[in-house]
Amino acid sequence: MREIEYSEVVKAVKDMIMYSGTDLPQDTYDALKEAMEEEKSRVSKEVIRQILENADIAKDEKRPLCQDTGLAVFFVKVGDQVKIKGGLLKDAINEGTEKGYTEGYLRASTCEPFSRANLKDTVGYNLPAIIHFDLVAGDKIDIEYAAKGGGSENVSRARVFPPAAGKEGIIEYVKEVISDAGGNPCPPITIGVGIGGTFEKAVISSKHALFRDIGSVNPDPEMAELEETILNEVNKLGIGAMGMGGTKTALAVHIEANPCHIASLPVSVNVQCHSSRHTHITL
């Protein structure tokens, strides 16, 4: 059984958070650059130019890309031949999150649901992190992280369709969600679509789909084709960068599909803003 020090996990998580806060991932940067070149609207083109200039400033001066530094979301795969020495893995991820947000001067955005009181005095700075664990074979721990902002989360939706809705129903549903959202989720967006499973499985899959690099190809050819179809349809809506009108509303559509109940076709649409801060390490 391999052992990993608790403090090593804390430091790795802290570093991921601080880096993500200021350095836009290359896949997102490249996709935005391409979108700027192809955008037909002068106003939207200028908005994307500002977004890229913002990314350059944030990286060079180590300033947060956006003031909404999000809730910290993790997908963690834990090997069955590894254990943490000196504490619990969950505690180490939370401790790394608190350190990363504090030392990186990132905003604490968590609060109680009704009093809206900020939790930093009770639970900790931007805690608790949202952590999804999975158990796998091996002696490694794989940690995927994304900072999830509120504006894009607020427009996300899920619904369980009857099976007859099929692909057409899913395409129409995604268009409806993105059309209603307009400029609110900070387009050009990435759209995560979770299909199948149960209600919650679809939702979690739509979140995980956002962690995939923009420009990567879905290994399932049927899903890759559906991603392309939805992307083209969404970009016909004319929303454009920050809703100002244009041809580049979305940079990518990512689908994660699962087997589902014979009676159901669950669909979840989770939206990510243009500041798609996501990263990944293996310990």
Partner 1 sequence: MATYTLTTPLSSEDTKMLKAGDTVFLNGTIYTARDAAHKRLVELIEKGEELPFDLEGSVIYFVGPTPPKPGDPIGSAGPTTSYRMDSYSPTMLKHGSKGMIGKGKRNQAVKDACVDYDGIYFGATGGAGALLGKQIKSAEVIAYPELGPEAVRKLEVENFPVTVINDTYGNDLYQMGREQYEVKD
State the residues that interact with partner 1 by CB under 8 A.
Answer: 22, 40-41, 43-44, 47, 50-51, 53-54, 57-58, 61, 63-69, 105-109, 116, 118, 150-151, 154, 182-184, 186, 236-240, 242-247, 273-275
DSSP the chain: -EEEEHHHHHHHHHHHHHHHHH---HHHHHHHHHHHHH---HHHHHHHHHHHHHHHHHHHHT--S-S---EEEEEEEEETTEEEETS-HHHHHHHHHHHHHHHTT-----B-TTT--BGGGTT-TT-S-EEEEEEESSS-EEEEEEEE-HHHHTT-EEEEE-GGGHHHHHHHHHHHHHHHHTTTT-SSEEEEEEEEESHHHHHHHHHHHTTSPTTPPPSSHHHHHHHHHHHHHHHTS---GGGSS-S-SEEEEEEEEEEE-TT-EEEEEEEE-S---EEEEE-
Task: Name which of 187 and 196 has its Cβ closer to partner 1.
Answer: 187
Task: Name which of 218 and 235 has its Cβ closer to partner 1.
Answer: 235
Least distance (Å) between residue 144 CB and partner 1 = 21
Instruction: List beta partners, residue 77.
Output: 134, 142
Least distance (Å) between residue 76 CB and partner 1 = 26
Task: Name which of 82 and 123 has its Cβ closer to partner 1.
Answer: 123
65 within 8 A of 275, measured Cβ to Cβ: yes
Task: Name which of 188 and 192 has its Cβ closer to partner 1.
Answer: 188
Task: Name which of 52 and 283 has its Cβ closer to partner 1.
Answer: 52
Least distance (Å) between residue 64 CB and partner 1 = 4
Task: Name which of 92 and 106 has its Cβ closer to partner 1.
Answer: 106
Least distance (Å) between residue 125 CB and partner 1 = 10
Least distance (Å) between residue 226 CB and partner 1 = 18
Least distance (Å) between residue 169 CB and partner 1 = 17
